[in-house]
Amino acid sequence: VGPIRYIFPAFVVAMWVVCGLGLASGQWTGIHWAMLGLSHLGCAIIFSNFVYVFSYGYGISMMLVNLLVMAWRPVPAVLLIGGLGVAYGIRLVWFVYRRYRSQGYSANRTRGDAANAGVPLPLRLFMWISCGWLMTFIAMPAWLAAGSSGAITAGILFGAGLMLAGLLLETVADQQKQVAKRSSPVAFVSSGLYARLRHPNYLGEIIFQIGLLAVTAVSATSPWALASGVAGPLYIVILMYYAARDQDAQQRRRYGDDPAFQAHQRQSGSLLPAL
């Protein structure tokens, strides 16, 4: 998606640097290697279908890694933040499963299968490694939530509230889009949340990630911990911004001559609702 092809590798390199600094200072420990291993296990679905790593791989990794952190230190703050991470993963896997089976998604599924067939093994390996690191760092805020006592503070509650709000918004937006596409697969979606906001699903994702950033801000006890908790969520926020821009451009190419689409563009915002 445009600049993302450069931004993503830069973030992955930054994560390697954070890991190296953590190893040198003794802050990167066995739990982090275990998180990394489970993230790569979840992302291994890329060897079945390349495009699945961004959907099933993301959801499975979120479930596995957050469950690991919860088992490692089952204190209230970790159970809350990790539990929301697990809920996110379950919702994503279920949504993707239903979407891939829907009639309205058949054209996208066909294009995805065709793209998968042409992906060489070296690229799969590169993306498997890179996405595994990304999924690990997205789960870092749950590890940070353990803090010194693992208690649920006002800051943890604030971050968790944002995560829950983002998760609910994304869930409702995805459901509304599924219903709309079921009744009219080739039309643009302009009902429900989409009446004033073109990408409420992306906004929900951004709010969820901002919640993780808030958890990091109140939980990090060192510059290294802060960097480790910021890297993953910040990348996803940037990704959603560019994904929304890309979707807007695609829709303009597809529906740009439709007067109804032109009116909807004037009455709606991309990532913030039009008033």
Question: How many Å apart are CA 71 and CA 33, to the nearest integer?
Answer: 15
pLDDT of amino acid 182: 84
pLDDT of amino acid 183: 84
pLDDT of amino acid 113: 81
Query: Residue 137's closest CA among 69, 196, 183?
Result: 69
Query: Residue 64's closest CA among 136, 131, 133?
Result: 136
Positions of the chain with pLDDT lower than 50, given as ranges: none
pLDDT of amino acid 1: 59
In this prediction the pTM is 0.95
pLDDT tens column, 41-95? 999 999 999 999 999 999 999 999 999 999 999 999 999 999 999 999 999 999 9
pLDDT of amino acid 115: 82
Query: Residue 236's closest CA among 268, 270, 211?
Result: 211
Query: Residue 174's closest CA among 242, 230, 91, 117?
Result: 91
**Torsional sign, CA 184, 186, 188, 194:** positive
Question: How many Å apart are CA 72 and CA 145, to the nearest integer?
Answer: 12
pLDDT of amino acid 275: 55
Q: Where are the domains of the chain?
A: 4-267
